[in-house]
């Protein structure tokens, strides 16, 4: 099993849905004996939290907000899938 974690950083308006989904995935990981902390969610999403996450990530899977976030956080484009 790999040691790479998945971090979900939702838009603030979707934080309740994100928390529900993340908790369901963590339950499934635990059920199969995997570390549930392989999937985590930012419970109180902010631009600062997203910027911090992006600055420490090595690979990002993002939706259409990547260009906007990169412009507003002054980050170079990171590898995306």
Number of CB atoms found within 10 A of residue 58's CB: 7
CA distance 5 to 32: 16
Query: Each residue of 23-80: pLDDT tens digit?
Result: 999 999 999 999 999 998 888 888 888 777 777 766 666 554 555 556 555 555 555 5
Q: Are residues 41 and 7 in the same domain?
A: yes
Q: Are residues 39 and 15 in the same domain?
A: yes
Give the residue numbers spanning the domain of 75: 47-81
Banded model confidence at residue 11, pLDDT cuts 50, 70, 90 = confident
Q: How many domains does the chain have?
A: 2
Q: Mean pLDDT, to the nearest integer, of 7-13?
A: 84
pLDDT of residue 22: 92
Q: Are residues 38 and 60 in the same domain?
A: no
Q: Are residues 36 and 52 in the same domain?
A: no
Q: Are residues 38 and 51 in the same domain?
A: no
CA distance 7 to 70: 18
Banded model confidence at residue 7, pLDDT cuts 50, 70, 90 = confident
Q: What is the DSSP string of 10-43?
A: --GGGHHHHHHHHHHHHHHHHHTTS-GGGEEE-S
Q: Is residue 51 a contact partner of residue 42, using CB atoms and an 8 Å limit?
A: no
């Amino acid at each position: 099993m790999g040691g790479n974690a998945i971090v979900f950083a939702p838009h603030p308006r979707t934080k309740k849905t994100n928390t529900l989904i993340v908790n369901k995935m963590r339950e499934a990981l635990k059920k199969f004996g995997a570390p549930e902390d392989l999937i985590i969610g930012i419970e109180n999403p902010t631009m600062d939290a997203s910027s911090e996450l992006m600055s420490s990530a090595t690979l990002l899977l993002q939706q259409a907000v990547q260009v906007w976030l990169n412009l507003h956080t002054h980050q170079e484009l990171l590898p995306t899938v």
